[in-house]
Amino acid sequence: MSCTLFIAGDSTAAIKGAAEKPMTGWGEHLQAYFGPSLRIDNRAVNGRSTKSFLAERRLEAIEKEFQAGDYLFIQFGHNDGKQEDPLRYADPEREFRANLERFIESARRKGGTPVLLTSVSRRRFLADGSPDPDAVGAYPEAMRQVAAGTATPLLDIFAASQQLYRALGIEGTRHLFMHLPEQAHPNYPEGISDDTHFSDVGARHIARLVAQAVHQCAALPELRQHLIRTTEGYLPGKVAMPE
């Protein structure tokens, strides 16, 4: 049976326009891991937090198309922590958690399945060369606690991305993010050094981590049936998707 997987999130997942390339959101590459029985509908938007996404009625727009059996992936945190912006800031101990519960309730009310994804980590390292566990502040842990308290499936992408960064190291992770010298790309004539947003290669890596997390999540047996490949390659008995 076919269904749709909606992504509600921020710029780390969002579809990027031609003027932003080669910056890429991980949601742009997620479809490659699922067969035609599941359609990815990426509603993530640059710069949004749980607060601004809700205030702009973007969840309501998803609800208008959301059907029983659909999935809602929910990944926020990067912009919720911007205390200087009252339109986006959501306290991790109160408002952020309450907002997440609104997303969860929405999907369940419509007969679908909400899935919480902890924020993908920024590229930030400690003096000893290990990834900074506070790279997205208190938001990953707050989301874990909401998942536990509401019995919502959780994909811990923060932990998975930090494990990837640890394996690659400080210099080995540069190519995953938007690091370009001057005149290297017409969209960034002055160059760019950005440790939050992904290059196309980085977005592919994170999409692979998301697919792997789905494959390992016992709480999502039906969604796992739509997977055609994981990091280990194509799943047995599945039709391969083109690269």
Tens digit of each residue's pLDDT (9 = 90 or more) over 104-118: 999 999 999 999 999
Cα 5–chain centre separation: 13
Asked whether the predicted pLDDT for residue 130 surpasses 70, the reply is yes
Cα 140–chain centre separation: 12
What is the percentage of the chain residues whose pLDDT exceeds 70? 94
pLDDT value, residue 230? 58
Q: Lowest mean pLDDT of 28-37, 52-61, 227-236, name the range.
A: 227-236
pLDDT value, residue 38? 98
Q: CA 64 to CA 81: how far, in whole Å? A: 29
pLDDT value, residue 241? 36
Q: Which of 148, 64, 50 is nearest to 92 (CA)?
A: 50
**What mean pLDDT do residues 38-55 have?**
98
**What mean pLDDT do residues 235-241 have?**
40
pLDDT value, residue 1? 80
pLDDT value, residue 240? 39
Asked whether the predicted pLDDT for residue 172 surpasses 60, the reply is yes
Write down the pTM of the prediction: 0.94
Per residue, the 3-state secondary structure of 8-61, as one string, reads: EECCCCCCCCCCCCCCCCHHHHHHHHECCCEEEEECCCCCCCHHHHHHCCHHHH
Q: CA 192 to CA 69: how far, in whole Å? A: 41
pLDDT value, residue 208? 95
43 near 61, Cβ under 8 Å?
Answer: yes
Tens digit of each residue's pLDDT (9 = 90 or more) over 186-235: 999 999 999 999 999 999 999 999 999 999 999 999 999 999 965 555 44
Name every residue whose Cβ is closer than 8 Å to that of residue 206 and which is 6 or more positions away in sequence: 12, 26, 120, 157, 161, 198
61 near 47, Cβ under 8 Å?
Answer: no
pLDDT value, residue 242? 34
pLDDT value, residue 70? 98
User: The dihedral of CA 203, 208, 211, 217: what is its sign?
Assistant: negative
Q: What is the CATH number of domain 3-234?
A: 3.40.50.1110
| Adjacent-strand bridge partners of 113 | 71
Name the average pLDDT for the chain: 94
Tens digit of each residue's pLDDT (9 = 90 or more) over 147-160: 999 999 999 999 99
pLDDT band at 236 (very low <50, low <70, confident <90, very high): very low
Give me the sheet containing 154-155, strands edge to edge: 38-42, 3-9, 71-75, 113-117, 154-155
**What mean pLDDT do residues 6-31 have?**
98
pLDDT value, residue 170? 97
pLDDT value, residue 159? 98
